[in-house]
Amino acid sequence: MNRSCPTLRRLALWLLCATGGIPAAAACQAKPGPAEPGAELTVSVMTMGPGAMVWERFGHNAIWIHDPVQGTDLTYNYGLFDFRQQNFILRFARGQMWYWMAGFPAEQYLEEYRRNNRSVWVQELDLPPRARLQLEQFLSWNALPENRFYHYDYYRDNCSTRVRDAIDRVAGGAVRRATEAVPVAASYRFHTQRLTANDPLIYTGLLLALGESVDRPLTAWEEMFLPLKLREHLRSVTIAGPDGHPKPLVKSERTIFLSTAPSPPDAPPDWLPAYLLLGSTIGVLAWVLSRGARRSALARAGFLLVVAGWAVLVGLAGTVLAGLWGLTDHVMAYRNENLLQMSPLALFMLPFLFGAVRGSPGRGRAAFAVAAAVATLSALGLAAKLLPGFEQVNGPVIALALPAHIGVALGLRSLRS
């Protein structure tokens, strides 16, 4: 049967409209057509604040897709790993971590973060229906056992960059276009230091282990390796609306849960004076103890403890740094100037220390030669800062290492006099 109104009825409705009887025209409106596939989907980015564990300090995020037609409400999480995974420690050491992604019921997922006192924010995205459907299909495919694993990189390919890339793919590259040429006043090291400032040992270890690659300025695209920065930069992204005019990608934002824990600092702490004080204390202690080593057994024992402990710490640290550079896939640890401050050569001091303290001239000379070489490398690392290409941010490491190296070398020289 023809759905159109008969000619006379159309004419009557036209007359009603023309004379102010507009509501009558609704009687002949066509029935709405079927909804566009994907229109029923709600797509959101869920962002979680930092947690207490070191791997939680950088925050987390996931893609939340609500599908009322299928009756599903899933959050897709790219940050899954397992300490019990086969060869986990070896893979971690080699920089060959395997992470995977999976979908979880949204309410259970949210409850986990509430229990852990971690903030949760949600941004609903105003993607076209077709893009929403494409994203749901991609995430479902990605969650299959044969597709879920990926080679994790802490800065360039992590749980947040995977979320960024999935959204950018269905948004036609709009996220990249809006952010890849936008410089930000931060580096990978800047964010790493401010987010680990609550743990001085982890802070110092990462300060030592990360090379010059983490010190270059980032773009907004790169900065989205941090979930909270992804949340921030998505606000500046626009996509084409139905009329062709740009509209914000983020349709709305809401806070699901707000943590009572203190927020991370906006900038790294300035701990250079503290490192300088610690290094100077080690150096002065070594020199002072060496002055009394010939007369006091207690001073000799103290000198051995300080110098041997420092040599072990420096030598092992240097060995790890060299291994990270030469034997692993931790590319952010390559070209590390801290090898000049923490040299594996320090370990060669150990066989001669006991003899040096007991007054052996040969062993005293050998121990001093090693200590002097280590101190010279450290001084060269400082001098290299005047040359182009030596721009690694390692002032605190130099402040710690150089005075201690000088004090140890002077102490070993004092034993010989």
Whether residue 385 is found in the same domain as residue 293: yes
Q: Are 80 and 101 in contact (CB under 8 A)?
A: yes
Whether residue 379 is found in the same domain as residue 349: yes
Instruction: Establish if 89 belongs to a structural domain.
Output: yes
Whether residue 302 is found in the same domain as residue 240: no
- Summarize the confidence of residues 245-274 as an average pLDDT: 97
Rounded to whole angstroms, what are the CA distances from 314 to 52, 209, 338? 29, 13, 11
Helix, strand or coil, per DSSP, at residue 108: helix
Whether residue 25 is found in the same domain as residue 60: no
* Residue 44: strand pairing partners: 64, 124
Helix axis angle for 395-416 and 200-209, nearest 10°, is 90
Average pLDDT, the chain: 92
Instruction: Establish if 312 belongs to a structural domain.
Output: yes
Judge whether residue 351 has pLDDT over 60. yes
Instruction: Establish if 339 belongs to a structural domain.
Output: yes
User: At a CB cut-off of 8 Å and minimum separation 6, what does 322 contact?
Assistant: 339, 344
Instruction: Establish if 74 belongs to a structural domain.
Output: yes
What is the model's pTM? 0.89
Whether residue 303 is found in the same domain as residue 224: no
Whether residue 16 is found in the same domain as residue 82: no
Q: Are 184 and 217 in contact (CB under 8 A)?
A: yes
Whether residue 283 is found in the same domain as residue 252: no
Q: Which pLDDT belongs to residue 15? A: 43
**Cβ density class 23-41: b for 16+ within 10 Å, e for less:** eeeeeeeeeeeeeeebeeb
Instruction: Establish if 208 belongs to a structural domain.
Output: no
Whether residue 248 is found in the same domain as residue 108: yes
Please identify, among 203, 229, 257, the residue that sits at the C-terminal boundary of a domain.
257
What digits encode the pLDDT tens for the residues 54-112?
989 999 999 999 999 999 999 999 999 998 888 888 898 899 999 999 999 999 999 99
Q: Which pLDDT belongs to residue 32? A: 56
Whether residue 24 is found in the same domain as residue 112: no
Domain range for 355: 272-416
